[in-house]
Structure 1
Amino acid sequence: MHSQRLAGWAGLGFAGSVILANLVTVATELPPQIGATPAEVATFFAEHGDAARISSAIAPIAWMFLAVFAAGTHARWRKAEQDRGEAWTIVGVIGAVLLISLFAGVVGTEIALVDGAPLWSLHNAYFAVNAIGIALTVGGFSMAGLRTGNLRPWHAYLGLASGLLTLTNSVLAPWSATTHSALGAFGFAGFGLWIIWITLTSAGFLRSPAPVAATSGDREGLRG
């Protein structure tokens, strides 16, 4: 399958994996809130360790899908960007790499929490700062789609709104990561828009044909 078309399936796979992981986590009981006491956190992970393990096991699959989506989006739009002298898709790829790296810390602390390690505050801090990866990914790709005409304006603005909200969440992390407050709504809203954006983008990739690479004969003709 063409890698640029594969990006569409990968994006849908990422969105589906994220939704599945969250459903597994909340299937029996909502996780502790930010600012929960060590005893509340310990009790939750002691009683729901299997769900936490399954959710954590899904994460690497989601990261694989995200990497393929990011690479395929760059491959699909890079020619139009090069013609404009721009590189917004590179920002998106960097954001995806950062998102995967930071969320690995989130999953690592969850795994440690299942074994009783007192890491809830570290987990929440990772989770809040992790939003910068979403901001760069969706912001970079939305700017690329807007500037090259590969996304409709409303679609691109949806992504930029997600990027702004998740960036705000990361900036507010020192105040929102350790105490339950309304500030977390920025991250929640931004994350929701991010999932909607990547689902719509992936569906668009699957509906429209991928650009056809020039053959050697075409390139010879261009050089001539």
Structure 2
Amino acid sequence: MSFARLAGIAGVGFVVILIVANLLLTAAGFPTPSEAVSRDEITTVFAAGAGSLRLASALLPLAWLLATIFAVGVCVCLRRDEQTRADPWSLVGLAGVLMQSVVFTSVEATRLALISAARHDSGVAGLWGLYTALFGFNQVFLATALLGLSMFGIRTGSIARWHAGIGLLAATLLLVTATTSPYGVGSVNPLALLGLTGWLLWLAWIVAYSVILIRRAPGPAAA
């Protein structure tokens, strides 16, 4: 199997894992960082839903690995044949994917720590504030990935303008939401819906890029 095809499958797998993990958390009643919830509500749901949270979190290491393979696949397998070095925009996109994985590791670790805090009724409010702040700021790295890889796709002719347009729109929405995320700590970010829209567009953008990678014929860069 060529690396291009492997990277495309990895991108689809990444999206599937994220959807499954979020469905598990939604079914268990976990609040999103944009919801207005009391300390008692947070304590109750994290104390009662530890099993679902652990299962969802256990899926994420594989998701981060798949995201890295996908991003490297885009950067390497979709370069022009005459390019002798990496395009700067591809490096911006790859950096964004790697940074979102690093920061979201902290997001998930904080969310898992809330299980212990909820059971011992200690530090719940502080950890929830840290979780919402990390979650909000992480969106800037999604925006970075979308911007870099969309610009790279346009420069190399690998993606259509509508595809790049989705990426740039999603990047704008996520950047705006990340910028206003401090106002969501201890409250509700008034622009949280924009972030959700950007995140959904990010998933669609990855699937579209993955299809391009899967369909790409093996070549010297993809071997």
Q: Is 2:56 the counterpart of 1:48? A: no
Who is 2:98 aligned against? 97
Structure 2 Cα separation of the partners of residues 79 and 31 of structure 1:
45
Structure 2 Cα separation of the partners of residues 95 and 204 of structure 1:
20
Contact 2:180 2:189 (8 Å CA) reproduced: no
Contact 1:34 1:124 (8 Å CA) reproduced: no
Who is 2:112 aligned against? 111
Contact 1:81 1:87 (8 Å CA) reproduced: no
Who is 1:78 aligned against? 79
Change in 2 beyond 3 A, CA 1:74/1:213: closer
Contact 1:159 1:193 (8 Å CA) reproduced: yes
Residue type matched to 1:180 in 2? V
Who is 2:153 aligned against? 145
Residue type matched to 1:206 in 2? I
Who is 1:5 aligned against? 5
Q: TM-score, normalised by structure 2?
A: 0.89
Change in 2 beyond 3 A, CA 1:57/1:80: same
Listed as ranges, the gaps of 5+ residues in structure 2 are: 118-122
Aligned length: 215
Q: Is 2:36 the counterpart of 1:28? A: no
Listed as ranges, the gaps of 5+ residues in structure 1 are: 216-224
Structure 1 Cα separation of the partners of residues 174 and 61 of structure 2:
22
Q: Is 2:183 the counterpart of 1:163? A: no
Shift of 1:158: 0.5
**Could you say which structure has the greater relative contact order, defined with CA pairs below 8 angstroms and 6 or more residues apart?**
2
Shift of 1:80: 5.6
Deviations 1:30-55 (A, max 9, x none): 42654422211111101111111111
Who is 2:14 aligned against? 14
Q: TM-score, normalised by structure 1?
A: 0.89
Deviations 1:7-52 (A, max 9, x none): 1000001000100100110113242654422211111101111111
Larger radius of gyration between Structure 1 and Structure 2: 1
Q: Is 2:71 the counterpart of 1:63? A: no
Indicate the larger mover: 39-48 or 175-184. 175-184
Structure 1 Cα separation of the partners of residues 82 and 163 of structure 2:
18
Change in 2 beyond 3 A, CA 1:214/1:31: closer
Structure 1 Cα separation of the partners of residues 80 and 186 of structure 2:
44
Which one of 192, 198, 203 corresponds to residue 184 of structure 1? 192
Contact 2:181 2:189 (8 Å CA) reproduced: no
Contact 1:89 1:140 (8 Å CA) reproduced: yes
Structure 1 Cα separation of the partners of residues 222 and 171 of structure 2:
34
Structure 2 Cα separation of the partners of residues 131 and 54 of structure 1:
23
Change in 2 beyond 3 A, CA 1:214/1:165: closer
Shift of 1:87: 1.8
Deviations 1:153-186 (A, max 9, x none): 0011101111111111111111124312431012
Shift of 1:132: 1.0
Structure 2 Cα separation of the partners of residues 201 and 77 of structure 1:
10
Shift of 1:86: 3.8
Query: Secondary structure of the equivalent of 1:115?
Result: helix
